[in-house]
Amino acid sequence: MNLLIAIINDPDRVIDILDEFYEVDIKGATVMESKGMAHIMADHVPFFSRFAEFGKDPAQNKTIFVVIDSDESRKKAIDAIERIVGDLNKPDTGIVMTLPIDFCKGLVKTEGDESLR
């Protein structure tokens, strides 16, 4: 199992990403509001203020956390994200990473799901 973390630059697209996750049978994601370092520093250090964008509050991101049980699920999740935000290698789309999980307690096992034993 892995933890997939997706930092999405446009918070308005998160609902669409979650819809895509549901369509490819990825469930149980958690979403949190987040803010990039440059935007936090822009409020406190004048040098960083030039890195902050203007207009709609771009400082607010959304971070999605979801447990992924296979390489296939990871590919489905990343493909779903890129269908909504575009190529993650392009600027101002987002960042996706996975981390191995060596312990997990509390996930609800669904019928036929052998990966959570």
**Residue 10 · residue 85 · CB < 8 Å:** yes
Domain residue extents for the chain:
2-34+60-100
Instruction: List Cβ neighbours of 16 (8 Å cut-off, separation of 6 or more).
Output: 84
Tens of pLDDT along 12-50? 999 999 999 999 999 999 999 988 776 667 666 665 555
pLDDT score of 21: 97
Burial of 111 (0-12, 13-18, 19+ CB in 10 A): exposed
Provide the token pair at 57: 């509050």
Give the torsion through C-alpha atoms of 33, 76, 92, 10, to 10 deg: -40
- What is the reported pLDDT for 3? 97
Which pLDDT band holds residue 60 (cuts at 50, 70, 90)? Answer: confident
The architecture that CATH gives domain 2-34+60-100 is: 2-Layer Sandwich (3.30)
